Amino acid sequence: MTATRITVSGDSPYDVVIGSGVQAELPGLLRPGVRTVAVVRPQGLPELSRPVLAALADAGYEVADLPVPDGEACKTPEVAAGLWSALGRHGLTRSDAVVGVGGGATTDLAGFVAGTWLRGVQVVLVPTTLLAMVDAAVGGKNGIDTPEGKNLVGTFLPPAGVLCDLAVLPGLTKADYVAGLAEVIKGGFIADPRILTLIESDPEGATRPDGPHTRELIERKIRVKADVVGADLREQGLREILNYGHTLAHAIERDEHYTIRHGEAVAIGMVYAAELSRLSGRADLTGRTRAVLTSVGLPVSYHAAAWPRLREHMRLDKKNRGAKQRFVVLDDLARPARLEDPAEELLEAAYKEITR
Ligand SMILES: NC(=O)c1ccc[n+]([C@@H]2O[C@H](COP(=O)([O-])OP(=O)(O)OC[C@H]3O[C@@H](n4cnc5c(N)ncnc54)[C@H](O)[C@@H]3O)[C@@H](O)[C@H]2O)c1
Ligand SMILES: O=C(O)C(=O)C[C@@H](O)[C@H](O)[C@H](O)COP(=O)(O)O
Ligand SMILES: [Zn+2]
């Protein structure tokens, strides 16, 4: 199948290239004038970055190979500081580039380091998980975690390009693949209900990289994200809809010390958001939300005793304004709305609905 190119519009437009065996397209995504490319990649998965390093070296670039810890463990100030030192040692200038290869944690870190080094150098992202392809690598949001919470430090830096090589997806564990489906399903609820019907028509197929609708699901979700971030890169309003389910999800991730997968936390968070929508007199999509998430093996509940801690963690959500807690909810399918400054009783009542 030929590669698909989805252009993300905005002040710095770029392409998301989607296909199987498309590594050779990587050098073409870099802007002209680059001499050195710093490749940020998970240290435990050399087989994923080897073709990327080779493609860049063959194209004549000086390549700096910068392995970092696997997964969320790389999204720390210490790892970022280590990369800044490495970029200094390699003499990376403003005409050079960072390439981030890996899951969403690695692409978030690579984007953050590129966005802060010399106040911003170009970054090209090569996502290797389903979640990073359909969400993290597209849209220019990057960040790291701090002891106070998830993604509290970061920048907006649109990548120069994104390369999704679908051939790497069969290497993922089932659990990592399915975690990515949570962000695909999010796209179905907030903007493109066809995503939901495709998954509901064949939930088992949806959990496989070779499923009958996999390519369509990936492309549909990337288009949802591209449309939103193309219109509102800096989250002045519309972009908040991509945070559906994330207010509670980020609190759960912090509560679990980042041992729960992001997509799993988002699944639970979407059930909470659906309950908030229902209990505040909006749409009742709670049944459909639980059914579609459960059908692909995602979690839909959390421990009752965690509520006081989660409530505290949610106070640092980026959508909040002063003391006002804000949530993305749904007036209907594909009709996101905001719930502003909800009563504490409502927040707790919705939580009771999702406890195990
Ligand atoms: N910036 C954004 O807009 C955005 C959007 C969504 C999520 N995120 C962030 O993305 C992160 C989650 O991303 P994730 O789910 O990809 O997790 P992850 O990056 O932790 O990757 C999951 C695991 O898969 C491994 N892996 C990666 N590619 C592989 C492959 N092809 N084969 C085998 N193993 C592979 C990783 O090393 C890791 O162990 C979170 O930090 C989340 O906050 C950011
Ligand atoms: O791109 C966005 O905007 C999103 O909200 C997408 C989310 O899936 C993603 O997890 C993002 O990193 C959350 O952003 P944050 O600003 O709440 O940290
Ligand atoms: Zn997310």
The C-alpha angle 324, 330, 331, rounded to 5 degrees, equals 105
- Cα-Cα-Cα-Cα torsion 144, 24, 28, 130, nearest 10 degrees, comes to -30
Say if CB 130 and CB 180 are below 8 A apart.
yes
Locate the domains of the chain by residue range: 4-171, 179-353
Q: How far is the CA of 168 from the centre of ligand 1 (A)?
A: 13
Q: How far is the CA of 331 from the centre of ligand 2 (A)?
A: 21
Give the tens place of pLDDT for each residue, 192-249: 999 999 999 999 999 999 999 999 999 999 999 999 999 999 999 999 999 999 999 9
Across 323-342, average pLDDT: 98
141 is in an annotated binding site: yes
174 is in an annotated binding site: no
Question: Does 89 have pLDDT greater than 80?
Answer: yes
Give the tens place of pLDDT for each residue, 31-68: 999 999 999 999 999 999 999 999 999 999 999 999 99
Residue of 20, 27, 19 whose CA lies nearest to 56: 27
Question: Which atom of ligand 1 lies at the shortest distance from residue 143's CA?
Answer: 1
179-353 — its CATH code? 1.20.1090.10
The model's pTM is: 0.98
Output the pLDDT for position 288: 98
151 is known as an active-site residue: no
141 is known as an active-site residue: yes
Residue of 338, 157, 318 whose CA lies nearest to 241: 338
Q: Is 180 in the pocket of ligand 2 (CB under 6 A)?
A: no
262 is known as an active-site residue: yes
Question: Does 1 have pLDDT greater than 80?
Answer: no
Band of residue 309 on the pLDDT scale cut at 50, 70, 90: very high
Across 310-331, average pLDDT: 96
Distance CA 280, CA 282 (A): 6
Question: Which atom of ligand 1 lies at the shortest distance from residue 75's CA?
Answer: 41
Q: Is 243 in the pocket of ligand 2 (CB under 6 A)?
A: yes
Across 59-84, average pLDDT: 98
Residue among 224, 232, 243 whose CB has most ligand 2 atoms within 8 A, to mutate: 243
* β partners of residue 164: 18
Band of residue 356 on the pLDDT scale cut at 50, 70, 90: confident
Going by CATH, does the domain composed of 4-171 fall within 3.30.530.20? Answer: no
74 is in an annotated binding site: yes
Global ipTM: 0.99
